[in-house]
Amino acid sequence: MSVENLSVASSTAARKGVVIIGAGLAGWHVIDAIRAKDTEIPITLITADSGDRYHKPMLTMAISQNKRASDLVRASGSGAANTAEVTLLANTQVTDIDPVSQTVQVRSTAQSDDALTTIGYEKMVLAMGAHPIFPKSLPQDLVWHVNHIERFSQLQEKLAAGSQHVAIVGAGMVGTEIAEDLLKAGHKVTLIDLNDAPLSQMLPAKATARIAKAIESQGIQFLGGYQVSAVARINCNSNDSEDGEKLQVDYAPLSTDADNTDIQPLEPLIVDHVIASTGLTVDEQLPAAAGVEFDRRTGIVVDAATLRTNAANIYAIGDCMSINGVACRYVAPLRAQAATIADDILGHEHSGYDHKPPMIRLKNKAISVMVTGVPQAAGNWQVKTESDDELIMDLIDDNEAVSATVTIKAPAVPKA
Ligand SMILES: Cc1cc2nc3c(=O)[nH]c(=O)nc-3n(C[C@H](O)[C@H](O)[C@H](O)COP(=O)(O)OP(=O)(O)OC[C@H]3O[C@@H](n4cnc5c(N)ncnc54)[C@H](O)[C@@H]3O)c2cc1C
């Protein structure tokens, strides 16, 4: 944090105002929404990263399009902060929240000392996102994730060296999308999941089997029903990898029949990179400090109509929060959520946020997958339409109402 920024921060604190923690899509949407209605209220944006504005969904499309991280940045953090007239404390970690004195403690990650600065708030918005889960078998110093542009940028640089073998662990939406992106960029891709098919936590087996078939026919090696037990660095002394280093990925069938002596030990995979795409979790530390109600599985609990937390003057938005016990980690609802928070903070009358689950679209080109409602694999899924080219299934709830629909279509064959 620069001295200049510090002095601006303390004067903002003296005037009080809005403090936003996190400069992802959620944090910036709140700034846009407030500034659309009030150009005067002081806003301080505190973020552990640079604060650069970028569209995170692009991270699973960028490598095959030969786009670097800098191509994805729509505005630098400092430039966007100047335009919106907000005080940006970039590369600054919020370490504590005191809801009684209405202050936060921050530490600059760009400086070597551990000096803490205290900043006051009148209203605060938690927009701190969720971070990747790394199971013990996937050591963080050996595996990549694509949940942030900085880490993505480092991975992209490594992959630019030429065709490589990448193992992706976790075939949810992000894992399945990045698998196709890397394949299209010319890399060999192995996608590994505990389940027999991609998206198996969200959709029924009849639907996911089509997705598995489509990505395999593209050339992605899909290992369904396997668990990665270890990733370790090995030295191959070959010239086709930096310093001759590769990664050994040990994996095994998820459940083996102990009496079956025919099961052969599996040859480990030898790859250049491993990407973990094994889910997200919200850090409990700041919500706990602020006395904010928190669910370990779904994140910060908010009131559905106002997006207020149970702590006075504290709101939450984006990946870090959940509504009615459901986390909704998608971009589409952010604009309406931010508008509600802006109105509530500014004391404007508003009709309340009305949460509508967004339409979910897999970005893969091998197959078209579109989901509406709140899907979950388990439940009473019924086939509406079934042909070679199309599958439509509804999830029927206990009241016989449709709570989700999945539509899967074969991609259109390009005209010769
Ligand atoms: C690869 C990928 C592809 C995706 N594709 C799609 C898609 O196609 N469609 C879709 O709708 N959604 C998609 N999503 C989800 C969507 O991108 C997210 O829901 C959204 O970007 C979340 O924004 P956020 O601001 O809540 O969180 P984040 O972007 O994670 O931002 C959190 C911010 O908080 C800061 N922060 C965290 N802790 C602290 C702290 N203690 N102190 C200071 N700052 C802190 C971080 O530095 C960061 O700036 C995708 C996600 C990924 C990862």
pLDDT for 39-57, tens place per residue? 999 999 999 999 999 999 9
Q: Is the pLDDT at 244 greater than 90, yes or no?
A: no
Mean pLDDT for the chain overall: 92
> What is the average per-residue pLDDT within 175-200?
98
Q: Rounded to an integer, what distance in angstroms lies between the CA atom of residue 413 and that of residue 65?
A: 21
Q: Is the pLDDT at 374 greater than 70, yes or no?
A: yes
pLDDT at 10: 45
Q: Is the pLDDT at 60 greater than 60, yes or no?
A: yes
Among 74, 121, 128, 371, residue to substitute to test ligand 1 (most atoms within 8 Å of Cβ): 128
Return the residue whose CA atom lies nearest to atom 37 of ligand 1.
128
> What is the average per-residue pLDDT within 397-414?
90
**Nearest atom (ligand 1) to Cα of 152:** 1
> What is the average per-residue pLDDT within 272-286?
97
Q: Is the pLDDT at 7 greater than 60, yes or no?
A: no
pLDDT at 114: 78
Question: Could you give phi then psi for residue 18, rounded to 5 degrees?
Answer: -105, 130
pLDDT at 13: 41
- List ligand 1's pocket residues with C-beta within 6 A: 21-27, 46-49, 56-57, 59-60, 93-94, 127-129, 146-147, 174, 286, 318-319, 329-332, 363
Among 133, 177, 331, residue to substitute to test ligand 1 (most atoms within 8 Å of Cβ): 331
**Nearest atom (ligand 1) to Cα of 46:** 43
> What is the average per-residue pLDDT within 13-28?
88
**Nearest atom (ligand 1) to Cα of 319:** 26
Beta bridge partners of 253: 226
Ligand 1 centroid–CA 407 distance in Å is 26
**Percent of the chain predicted with pLDDT > 70:** 91
Q: Rounded to an integer, what distance in angstroms lies between the CA atom of residue 407 and that of residue 208?
A: 11
**Nearest atom (ligand 1) to Cα of 320:** 26
> What is the average per-residue pLDDT within 241-260?
76
* Residue 32 burial by Cβ neighbours in a 10 Å radius (0-12, 13-18, 19+): middle
pLDDT at 3: 36
Q: Rounded to an integer, what distance in angstroms lies between the CA atom of residue 97 and that of residue 347?
A: 23
pLDDT per position as a tens digit, 100-153:
999 999 999 887 777 899 999 999 999 999 999 999 999 999 999 999 999 999
Q: Is the pLDDT at 8 greater than 70, yes or no?
A: no
Q: Is the pLDDT at 88 greater than 80, yes or no?
A: yes
Question: Mapped to the 3 state alphabet, what secondary structure does 125-188 carry?
Answer: EECCCCEECCCCCCCCCCCECCCCHHHHHHHHHHHCCCCCEEEEECCCHHHHHHHHHHHHCCCE
Cα distance between the two ends of the chain: 58
pLDDT at 257: 60
Q: Is the pLDDT at 319 greater than 60, yes or no?
A: yes
Return the residue whose CA atom lies nearest to atom 29 of ligand 1.
24
Q: Provide the pLDDT confidence category of residue 416 given band limits of 50, 70 and 90.
A: low
pLDDT at 242: 52
User: Cβ atoms within 10 A of the Cβ of 293, count?
Assistant: 12
Ligand 1 centroid–CA 415 distance in Å is 38
pLDDT at 245: 87
Return the residue whose CA atom lies nearest to atom 30 of ligand 1.
129
